[in-house]
Amino acid sequence: MKVILASTSPYRAALLEKLRLPFIQVDPDYIEERLPAEAPAELCRRLAEGKARSVSRPATVAPWLVIASDQVASLPGGKVLGKPSGFDAAVSQLQRCSGRWVAFETALCLVTSGGECRIDADVFEVRFRELDEHTIRRYLELDAPFDCAGSIRAESLGIALIAESRGRDFNTLLGLPLMLLTDMLAGLGIDVINEIK
């Protein structure tokens, strides 16, 4: 079975490589916009499905499986923190996160060449340290997390902004919940360990 990761993200690719399943990356042709009053859980699931379906292949080719993921960061009360539009927006986001818990919900969508579609999500929460403006600006200069939800690159220097965390799988925070993905693959009859050649 051909596995397609519906993402050009090097971070998601590095995470998927941990499962040792050969895959290719395809850039999803899907506009990532939030609908009015859309809750974080609904948003990440809809975007993950949209990405997966945008790269689905005709059933006439060899069997394939598309894996797509989308992450939404939110403050208590459901205030969504998207990818910052630039430095100043990232400063503002991190100021709002300072000393607070932030939920990172990451949805997975798997679409098969047989037409099956499965969607699920995992949540990982982090409490940010109390951050002064100098620390925020210095972090952004060093790590440039402007393509990251919540303005933090947790797999890099962003980990220094986190005081504590809670959740099933740290990979969820990084953008691809591997424990959930393993469960979903098993539901499709794919045993990750026994698929390794």
Kindly give the confidence (pLDDT) of every residue in the chain, 197 residues in length, as a single tens digit, with 9 standing for 90 and above.
789 999 999 999 999 999 999 999 999 988 878 888 889 999 999 999 999 999 987 655 678 999 999 999 999 988 999 889 899 999 999 999 999 999 999 999 999 988 899 999 999 999 999 999 999 999 999 999 998 999 999 999 999 999 999 999 999 999 999 999 999 999 999 999 987 77
Vertex 10, ends 189 and 170: CA angle to 5°?
65
Q: CA-to-CA distance for 75 and 158, rounded, in angstroms?
A: 17
Q: Determine the pLDDT at residue 60.
A: 55
Q: Determine the pLDDT at residue 61.
A: 63
3-class DSSP assignment, residue 102: strand
3-class DSSP assignment, residue 9: coil
Instruction: State the catalytic residue, choosing from 27, 29, 70, 122.
Output: 70
What pTM value is reported for the model? 0.92
Domain annotation for the chain: domains and CATH numbers: 2-195 (3.90.950.10)
For the chain, helix, strand, coil in percent to 5 are 35, 25, 35
Known active-site residue 70: yes
**115 within 8 A of 147, measured Cβ to Cβ:** no
